[in-house]
């Protein structure tokens, strides 16, 4: 085979790999991630989707590289076979049917062991960036992720199929069956949906075959569940996530979780802890997966009945996603705060609260491959979503660094003070905390005063602007001023993420036309009429229509619905982007009807 023939064979093999990849991967992606994703939502492993177009494009680009490398290795192997250097054979009678079956079994066991140890090695800090970082770009994997590797990892992935024909006799059908088994297993491992049935993880013998949840957890939680085909290496080496079986079983138990007609969950309180002067944390135990699988920074809305008055309030989640089987809300009592004071005085361990599923546009999804520098800025109880974000980065982004600027009145009002002290000791090279106290005259280990432009400028001058991401949560006046300062200092708006706290009430009204509204909420259709000077949400709630909502200030996104008929105007919007608006999405809490008929759905 001369060089020209080699290139021709390489091209044919590469095109063949692309066709094979498309035939296997495309149907799974189209069915589960496009056409019928709502139908299969019940068996989605991660209830809160994180994969975006960016991840799909990234996976496809690197898959093409992978298929080219596989083609080079395959053509080289075929060339060496033609020279008689391998033990590949075509006649089954040469070694018999028994050996054929045994050899297929042996290669699966060898490949499983080879994959476990090389995969685990590639997670070592000195090897990770060069080998495995590309594959872990997707924390919510799709079938497209199954072939997305760095070129160096692609060589490792295909190494055993290249080496074994030089070591042991293998019939060509064994190679083909091995490749087919590997491709299908790889697709199911990255499918994002659990096709293995309920009880699989507890069935004799079958439980040792990895279910889709097994590898999906690896992409979510990073250090663990390294296996390919079988679970025993993880079990023997103690690297299997302890709640693997529980997570698999909970996928099939979701349908049994009861929700109210408003779509609210009832959660039981297992612990209440004092965090600072007027701040306390409520811990809910044994929660559904949606409350462990949320994005750090998100919030939920609680419903309380105070002397027959139904009130709703929104609180950020302070627990860290995908760590423990519980949910934590950290709440600060507010002077004159009807709901916060009621909860503080009346909620006890063993009691329950009705809450919505996590939501919100202020969030952080970790990518284990990231090497960012986060600047977290919080004021008072605005620390609750920031605390969740910091814990998430520390656990899932080992190469990223964090600087926290935290403003309070005095040392006694610092929420999570002891926890931050522990984190700075445990992660000295990753986390820096700067406290700002406005009322303490001689603060210990803190800065007297407020977070200012000078504070921001010091950080920006120490680091490259392109590597800094800013997350702010605190009083509106504080965050507005600091955002102005950041923009003045040259930080692009896309690098600034803000969640408002202590939102000022908006009393502005807008001209509105009376309209008949048809609202599809949780699959049920409601009809109502808008009221003079009232938003669609206010009009609906006044008529007992269970429209989803939370902050009612156009900031959280809970009331986001799609307007499929009619026209509205938005009084305020800090949630919807251009794409949302083009697709017809509105915020009902800020929407005033401008046509006599409106149809909306969630």
Domain locations in the chain?
Answer: 3-194, 265-355, 373-501, 516-601
Does residue 505 surpass a pLDDT of 60? no
The candidate with the shortest Cα–Cα distance to 408, out of 336, 478, 496, 504, is: 478
DSSP annotation of 523 reads T
Three-state DSSP state, 265: strand
Pairwise CA distance, residues 151 & 200, whole Å:
35
Pairwise CA distance, residues 397 & 221, whole Å:
10
Q: Looking at 12-26, 108-122, 382-396, 547-561, which range is the least confident one?
A: 547-561
Same fold, 265-355 and 373-501: no
* pLDDT tens per residue across span 541-600: 889 898 888 767 776 778 889 999 999 988 877 678 778 888 899 999 989 999 999 999
Residues 6+ apart with CB under 8 A from 88: 81, 165, 169, 170, 171, 172, 175
Cα distance between the two ends of the chain: 62
Question: What are the angstrom distances between the C-alpha of 388 and each of 240, 298, 362, 475?
Answer: 24, 9, 12, 18
Both structure tokens of 362 = 């202020």
**How do strand 468-475 and strand 88-89 relate by DSSP bridges?**
unpaired
Give the other-Cβ count within 10 Å of 214's Cβ.
28
pLDDT above 70 covers a percentage of the chain that reads 97
Enclosing H/E stretch for 293: none
Pairwise CA distance, residues 520 & 505, whole Å:
28
* pLDDT tens per residue across span 342-381: 999 999 999 999 998 898 889 998 988 889 999 999 999 9
Q: Are residues 400 and 374 in contact, defined by beta-carbon separation less than 8 angstroms?
A: yes
For range 255-268, the mean pLDDT: 88
Both structure tokens of 172 = 């060509």
Q: Does domain 265-355 have CATH number 1.10.3720.10?
A: no
Of 3.40.50.2000, 3.40.50.80, 3.80.10.10, 3.40.50.300, the CATH number of 373-501 is: 3.40.50.80
Does residue 293 surpass a pLDDT of 90? no
Pairwise CA distance, residues 81 & 78, whole Å:
5
DSSP annotation of 382 reads G
Summary mean pLDDT of the chain? 92
The candidate with the shortest Cα–Cα distance to 149, out of 212, 43, 89, 63, is: 63
* pLDDT tens per residue across span 151-204: 999 999 999 999 999 999 999 999 999 999 999 999 999 999 999 999 999 999
Pairwise CA distance, residues 349 & 356, whole Å:
20
Q: How confident is the model at residue 500 (pLDDT cuts 50, 70, 90)?
A: low
Where b means 16+ CB within 10 Å and e means fewer, 135-149 reads bbbbbbbbbbbbbbb
**CATH assignment, 516-601:** 3.10.20.30
Give the rounded distance of the alpha carbon of 451 from its chain centre.
Answer: 31
Pairwise CA distance, residues 398 & 372, whole Å:
10
DSSP annotation of 34 reads I
pTM for the complete prediction?
A: 0.80
Q: What is the pLDDT of residue 507?
A: 40
Strands (DSSP E) found in 398-442: 401-408, 431-437
For range 262-283, the mean pLDDT: 93
Q: Are residues 300 and 317 in contact, defined by beta-carbon separation less than 8 angstroms?
A: yes
* pLDDT tens per residue across span 298-346: 999 899 999 988 888 889 999 999 887 789 999 999 888 899 999 999 9
The candidate with the shortest Cα–Cα distance to 601, out of 567, 573, 562, is: 562
Question: What are the angstrom distances between the C-alpha of 215 and each of 31, 60, 193, 227, 393?
Answer: 20, 20, 11, 8, 21
Scanning 436-490, the segments in alpha helix (DSSP H) are 453-462, 476-488
Q: How confident is the model at residue 511 (pLDDT cuts 50, 70, 90)?
A: low
Does residue 423 surpass a pLDDT of 70? yes
Residue 426: Cβ-neighbour burial (10 angstroms; 0-12, 13-18, 19+):
exposed
């Amino acid at each position: 085979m001369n060089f020209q023939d080699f290139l021709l064979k390489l091209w044919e093999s590469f095109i063949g790999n692309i066709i094979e990849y498309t035939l296997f991967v495309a149907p799974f992606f189209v069915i589960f991630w496009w056409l019928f994703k709502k139908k299969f939502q019940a068996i989605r492993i991660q209830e809160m989707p994180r994969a975006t177009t960016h991840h799909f494009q990234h996976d496809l680009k690197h898959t093409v590289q992978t298929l080219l490398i596989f083609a080079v290795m395959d053509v080289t192997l075929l060339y060496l076979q033609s020279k008689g250097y391998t033990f590949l054979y075509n006649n089954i009678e040469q070694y018999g049917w028994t050996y054929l079956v045994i050899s297929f079994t042996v290669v699966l066991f060898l490949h499983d062991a080879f994959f476990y140890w090389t995969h685990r090695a590639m997670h070592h800090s000195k090897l990770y960036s060069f080998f495995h970082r590309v594959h872990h770009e997707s924390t919510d994997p799709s079938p497209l992720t199954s072939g997305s590797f760095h070129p160096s990892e692609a060589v490792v992935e295909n190494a055993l199929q290249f080496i074994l024909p030089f070591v042991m006799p293998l019939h060509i059908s064994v190679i083909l069956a091995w490749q087919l088994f590997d491709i299908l297993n790889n697709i199911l491992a990255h499918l994002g949906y659990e096709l293995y049935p309920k009880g699989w993880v507890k069935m004799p013998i079958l439980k040792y075959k990895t279910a889709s949840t097994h590898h999906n957890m690896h992409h979510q939680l990073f250090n663990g569940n390294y296996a390919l085909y079988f679970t025993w290496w993880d079990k023997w080496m103690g690297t299997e996530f302890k709640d693997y079986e529980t997570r698999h079983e909970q996928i099939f138990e979701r349908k049994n979780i009861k929700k109210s007609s408003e779509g609210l969950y009832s959660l039981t309180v297992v612990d209440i802890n004092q965090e600072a002067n007027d701040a306390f944390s409520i811990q809910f135990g044994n929660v559904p997966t949606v409350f462990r699988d949320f994005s750090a920074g998100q919030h939920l809305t609680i419903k309380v009945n105070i002397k027959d008055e139904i009130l709703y309030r929104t609180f950020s989640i302070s627990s860290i996603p995908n760590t423990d089987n519980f949910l934590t809300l950290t709440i600060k009592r507010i002077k004159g705060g009807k709901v916060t004071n009621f909860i503080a005085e009346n909620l006890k361990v063993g009691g329950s609260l009705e809450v919505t599923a996590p939501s919100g546009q202020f969030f952080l999804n970790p990518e284990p491959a990231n090497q960012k520098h986060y600047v977290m800025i919080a004021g008072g109880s605005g620390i609750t979503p920031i605390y969740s974000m910091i814990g998430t980065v520390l656990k899932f982004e080992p190469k990223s660094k964090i600087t926290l600027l935290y403003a309070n009145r005095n040392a006694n009002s610092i929420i999570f003070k002891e926890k931050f002290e522990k984190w700075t000791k445990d992660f000295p090279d990753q986390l820096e905390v700067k406290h700002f106290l406005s009322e303490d005259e001689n603060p210990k280990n803190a800065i007297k005063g407020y977070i200012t432009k000078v504070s921001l400028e010091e950080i920006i001058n120490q680091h490259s602007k392109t590597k800094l991401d800013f997350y702010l949560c605190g009083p509106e006046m504080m965050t507005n001023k600091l955002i102005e300062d950041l923009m003045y200092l040259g930080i692009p708006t896309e690098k600034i993420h803000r969640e408002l706290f202590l939102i000022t009430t908006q009393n502005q009204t807008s001209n509105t036309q009376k309209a008949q509204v048809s609202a599809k909420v949780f699959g049920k259709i409601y009809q109502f009429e808008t009221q003079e000077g009232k938003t669609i949400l206010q009009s609906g709630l006044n008529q007992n229509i269970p429209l989803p909502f939370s902050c009612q200030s156009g900031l959280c996104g809970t009331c986001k619905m799609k307007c499929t008929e009619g026209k509205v105007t938005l009084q305020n919007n800090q949630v919807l982007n251009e794409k949302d608006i083009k697709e017809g999405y509105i915020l009902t809490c800020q929407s005033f009807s401008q046509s006599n008929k409106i149809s909306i759905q969630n």
